[in-house]
Amino acid sequence: MEPRIAQRAGIGAGGLVQQQQALEFKRLFVDKPMLVVVERGSKIVRWAGGEYVIRAGDAVAIAGGQTFDVINRLPEHGGYRARWLACDEPLVAAHAARYPQQPVIRHAQAIVEPCAAFGEAFDRAIDAIDDANLPAAIAQHRVREILLWIGIKGGRFGEAAVETLSARIRRLIASDLANEWSAPTVAAALAMSESTMRRKLAEENATLTEILSDARMSFALNLLQSTHHSVTQIAGDVGYKTLSHFAARFHQRFGFSPTAIRRGLAHSHRDTCASTT
């Protein structure tokens, strides 16, 4: 699977992550429930009150709407590599309604030494998302199979909670990250006044500026890890007109430059842009 993000409406998204440096990502917001299968190296998933260390060959199911600290560690030789599958909410909700007796994954659930059939089902689900010619009903069936496997391995994803205003804004922004979002445009899209929006955000200890910046940086991180797009292209994709401004924001958010994620990859996969930090 080439480094790129495959998406299919009503089914999910999937991608391949590669890194040649061990990096720590603080306060990563996970929007949709996802399954990550580590192929090389190891992954630490940490939240308030809990932590998992996921080694090569193992997997972790991560609940949506949560914030985690994540560390991707390299193996003794070579780089870190993992694949991920995010499930669309209608499929998750249908599974939850059908299997209410399964324990709910509140944060994350490790899946240690999954059997070969689990891995084959994961491969089929990723392929289904990537193959637009496959009937949608079949693609949904393959993702539902993964949800069944997660249930067998210890839990299910919960039903979508009532969205906070912060989550609604984040979802709106994610629909067009390159747009020049402003308080008036966001408030109008949500059919509320600017003053009401700001008041409600204050009640959630959030600001529009913080939400906008974090949504852009989080998606940029995903693109840097899961595609070969140039850093310059990614900067534009998430709404930055200059590479220097994007790089400064990225460094401020994560503590390292955008090119740190690509550094050490094969020459043909390197970004042509030099580090800006």
Q: Going residue by residue through the chain (277 aa), what tens digit of pLDDT does each one get? A: 456 788 999 999 999 998 888 889 999 999 889 999 999 999 999 999 899 999 999 999 999 988 999 999 999 998 899 999 999 989 999 999 999 999 999 999 999 999 999 999 999 999 999 998 999 999 999 999 999 999 999 899 987 666 789 989 998 998 898 888 999 999 999 999 999 999 999 999 999 999 999 999 999 998 998 888 999 999 999 999 999 999 999 999 999 999 888 775 443 333 333 333 3
Q: How far is CA 99 from CA 35, 93, 95, 155, 160, in A?
A: 18, 10, 6, 10, 15
CA 133, distance to chain mean position in Å, is 25
In angstroms, rounded to a whole number, what is the distance separating the alpha carbons of residues 269 and 230? 9
Closest CA to 31 of 205, 206, 225, 164: 164
Q: Report the run of H or E that residue 30 belongs to, with start and end.
A: strand 23-30
pLDDT at residue 49, as a whole number: 87
In angstroms, rounded to a whole number, what is the distance separating the alpha carbons of residues 269 and 262? 8
pLDDT at residue 275, as a whole number: 32
The one-character DSSP state at 111 is E
In angstroms, rounded to a whole number, what is the distance separating the alpha carbons of residues 118 and 138? 17
pLDDT at residue 265, as a whole number: 47
The structure's pTM equals: 0.86
Name all domains of the chain by residue range, CATH numbers in brackets. 5-157 (2.60.120.280), 165-269 (1.10.10.60)
Which distant-in-sequence residues (6+ apart) come within 8 Å of 228 by Cβ?
2, 3, 4, 269
pLDDT at residue 268, as a whole number: 32
The three-state secondary structure class of 143 is helix
pLDDT at residue 161, as a whole number: 65
